[in-house]
Amino acid sequence: MTSETLWYANRATGAVCLVLFTVVVVLGMAVRLRVKIPGLPRFGTISLHRSLSLSATAFLALHIAFATVDSYVDITVLDAIVPFVSDYQPLWLGLGTVALDLMLAVLITSLLRNRIGHRTWRATHWLAYASWPVALIHGIGIGTDTGTDWMTWLTFACVAAVLAAAGTRLALGVRASRRTPAVLLRTAEGAR
């Protein structure tokens, strides 16, 4: 492959990763809220979340492979795993590495969920919420398409989707927490 082909492949896989991980984050919130996607049973939402998570991870592996194989910029495998050690744009590349490391923790604990227990898995799974914005900032800072109309709109759409899902989750969480004391009070009074 030529350096130009690798550059285009790196850009394309980066954009695909943004979209896929955005959908994964939104689906993760939908799973937590027990949202049923039209045409799918409830377990279908969970299966879709898992499948897209693995697909997104595969595209991330391609994105990293294309970046490290491309000879135009010297990015090593170590640069992709250890944050902020690269000579090439250490801040922006380092943020991508941090996002990768957080996602690896989520992936590994998800694969070991039955062995490590639900509490440990759930606590680690929260890292996905940190990983997504860090990866987004990495893409904005290092991406060669940043500022182009199509990438601006794609980024805006992804941010809007995650914010809408997070807002819905927070609103429903607040509503549920307001109801919980009343339900507990009624339950306690009924037990008397």
Q: What is the pLDDT of residues 48-80, one digit of tens each?
A: 999 999 999 999 999 999 999 998 888 999 999
Q: What pLDDT was estimated at residue 186?
A: 55
Cα-Cα-Cα-Cα torsion 2, 84, 143, 66, nearest 10 degrees, comes to: 30
Residue-wise pLDDT for 101-125, tens only, equals 999 999 999 999 999 999 999 999 9
C-alpha 14/C-alpha 129 separation (Å) is 18
Mean predicted lDDT score pLDDT of the chain = 89
| The residue count for the chain | 192
Count up the domains in the chain and report the number. 1
What tokens appear for 165 in the block?
């899902």
CA-CA distances (angstroms) from residue 62 to 13, 73, 90, 188? 7, 16, 20, 56
**Rg of the chain (C-alpha set):** 20
CA-CA distances (angstroms) from residue 67 to 74, 93, 99, 103, 109? 9, 11, 16, 18, 26
Q: What pLDDT was estimated at residue 137?
A: 97
DSSP string, 15-79: HHHHHHHHHHHHHHHHHHTTPPPTTS-HHHHHHHHHHHHHHHHHHHHHHHHHHHH-SSS---HHH
Q: What is the mean pLDDT of residues 161-179?
A: 84
Q: Is the pLDDT assigned to residue 138 strictly greater than 70?
A: yes
179: containing domain: 3-191
The pLDDT-based confidence of 42 (bands split at 50, 70, 90) is confident
The Cβ of residue 10 has, within 10 Å, a number of other Cβ atoms equal to 24
Q: Is the pLDDT assigned to residue 189 strictly greater than 90?
A: no
